[in-house]
Amino acid sequence: MCGIVGYIGTQAASSILLEGLRKLEYRGYDSAGIATIYEDEIHCIRAKGKLHNLQEKLEGAATPAQLGIGHTRWATHGKPEEYNAHPHMDTARRIAVVQNGIIENYRELREELKALGHEFRSDTDTETIPHLIAEELKQIVGHVGVGLSNESGNTLTGSKNLPLLEAVRRAVNKLQGAFAIAVISADYPDELIVARQQAPLVLGFGQGEFFCASDTPAIVPYTRAVLPLENGELARLTPLGAEVYSFEGHRLKKAPRTLNWNPVMVEKQGFKHFMLKEIYEQPGVVRACLETYLNPEWGQESEEKAEGRGQRAERTTPTPHSPVRLNLPTTLYDKLQQIQIVACGTSWHAGLVGKYVLEQLVGIPTQVQYASEFRYAPSPLTPNTLTIGVTQSGETADTLAALEMELERRKDLAVEYQPRMLGITNRPESTLGNLVPHIIDTHAGIEIGVAATKTFAAQLMAFYLLALDIAHYRNTLSSEQVEKLLDGLRQLPAEIEMILESQERYIEELAHDFVDTQDFIFLGRGVNFPIALEGALKLKEISYIHAEGYPAGEMKHGPIALLDAKVPVVTIAMPGTVFEKVLSNAQEARARDARLIGVTPMDEQDAEDTFDTLIPVPHVDEILSPLVTVIPLQLLAYHIAARRGLDVDQPRNLAKSVTVE
């Protein structure tokens, strides 16, 4: 949730920290603050609200300090007030800490530290940490010369005469929960100590300078050499280098890797908001998935043999090659009886589309679970089950915890119950990538807008590609069926572009009608029911309008009581198995005076006769239609929110990456 950044090097830290926080503000914007060390003192400046408030306070107050930490907050413990803003300090104001996460045992620790004379100034769980480090440091400083010891009594490998590192190590071993922290001390002005446990933290390596951050966008303007810390690791950064240790005190050998990101990716590039830019990036995202994963060799062998006989290739049986190149082992698919998907929010909606696609194309029963519920009420264990975790960031706490639980409860069972784990994420270098053995990288690029758009499209592509791969392995589709789906997928980028080019201006004008609307209903059926849910979610997230998504056929079973002339009903009606049924359901709403908005192909006369307002989309195969029907709903939510004068990219109470339970 929160964003943390740290710097040690040769440049003025304040400006680097501020720019880093700007890149991380999508993680939280209830308050912000930085702490630097200059002239043997910690200089801490904090401000309530968004980052520009902190920037104003820094004008004329910044120091030339070359070491510092910064934080942008999404409030968990304590109201979003300045006194609860990070960094937090110990009683003597010699240690400063920033944290992303939740300390579950902070109340017990807080009471123990109060009894020892420590004075607390905030309501946060984080403030416990600098006091705890200060207490540990007090116990250590008299024994520096004889080396430091871990809990087993062994000398702390490679860390002799490093009291601040040892104090942090001892402190984090007393913390319960998920956290990433950065620590500085006025008594150790050449050290930046960081630690990670179940919350993301990455190190950046420059020339005589080092960085840490919750996410790589804060680092890429300065270096592409990065090292993500793993759970149970801490690091000591100095102007001379970086040292990584385990929480047990062992020195670890770690090497950075090079990112291939372009800093331009995290700029608006002329768009008013990141969200609008990311909506427009969706054709490119779909193309990237197709270029990466479609197999150009598919079907070639059959065609070549047929041509050698002077015949036309008949694609009625599978070719030896899969139509996609996911590079997943066949052991994931062998004797597969069930699939379970765990996810949250928009990723959960993507999972619902995935369920429909997998069941219809592959014939495997598929469940979609809220990760936050699954971890406390898991489904009964079933044999030969594939578990798929979906999270754009790869850091969603509930999803990771659900996957960890599934790994743990299956690991010692019979072979047919052994875990089969797959992750779908935009960040393969994330915690998810280290947790599960197999990943489908969605290749969406960094997404800054809190409301997910392009990453949702990329997740849908992952499910289509996965379904095609499993279908090939199980021989559930003919080659002709596969070719039809592939042709449809290849056309999607141009069809999305067509919607953006022809409908955005129209939707912007349409949004004017709903500036004062208080309630919306979204309807869909079959594969487009999840898109109705996603459309409602987008509107709620950024416009703060109450919106609900329903299966269109369920309208008459209660929700219809909500309808009157003040409640617009957005209905997704795509030609296919349920087209006529959806139109009939829409008529039920029309009979209650609701304004009907139809997302439907323009040349469908029945639809034209049904809806008051049409948002046209191209004709596509029904099973592929979510990738085109979601675009108008994203644009509608965006333009209503923008028309209401709201902060589209940073909606209230939300954060991009939910790394706490």
CA angle in degrees (0–180, nearest 5) for 435-436-440: 125
Write out the two tokens for 394: 């790869």
367, β-bridge pairs: 340
CB count, 10 Å around CB of 553?
A: 17
Virtual CA dihedral for 408, 228, 98, 399, nearest 10 degrees? -30
Write out the two tokens for 640: 């209503």
Which stretches within 393-523 are classed as H helix?
Answer: 397-410, 431-435, 454-474, 479-511
User: Cα(18)–Cα(5) distance, rounded to whole angstroms?
Assistant: 9
Through-space distance between the first and last CA atoms of the chain, rounded to whole angstroms = 10
Q: How many alpha carbons fall within 13 Å on the CB side of residue 580?
A: 1
Catalytic (active site) residue 656: yes
165 SS3 class: helix
Write out the two tokens for 319: 């070719």
Which residues, at least 6 apart from 34, have a Cβ–Cβ distance to it below 8 Å? Answer: 13, 14, 17, 18, 21, 44, 45, 54, 58, 68, 69, 70, 71, 87
Q: Which of 2, 44, 212, 289 is catalytic?
A: 2
Q: Are strands 188-197 and 177-185 parallel, antiparallel or unpaired?
A: antiparallel
584 SS3 class: helix
User: Cα(219)–Cα(464) distance, rounded to whole angstroms?
Assistant: 33
Catalytic (active site) residue 289: no
Assess contact for 289 and 442: CB atoms under 8 A: yes
> How many residues belong to the chain?
661
Q: Which of 48, 538, 540, 656 is catalytic?
A: 656
Tell me 152's DSSP state: T
Assess contact for 488 and 480: CB atoms under 8 A: no
42, β-bridge pairs: 37
Q: Tokens 């789906």 identify what position?
A: 485
Q: How many alpha carbons fall within 13 Å on the CB side of residue 108?
A: 6
Radius of gyration of the chain (CA): 27
User: Cα(521)–Cα(594) distance, rounded to whole angstroms?
Assistant: 10
User: Cα(617)–Cα(611) distance, rounded to whole angstroms?
Assistant: 14
For 34, phi then psi, to 5°, come to -135, 155
Catalytic residue ranges:
2, 656
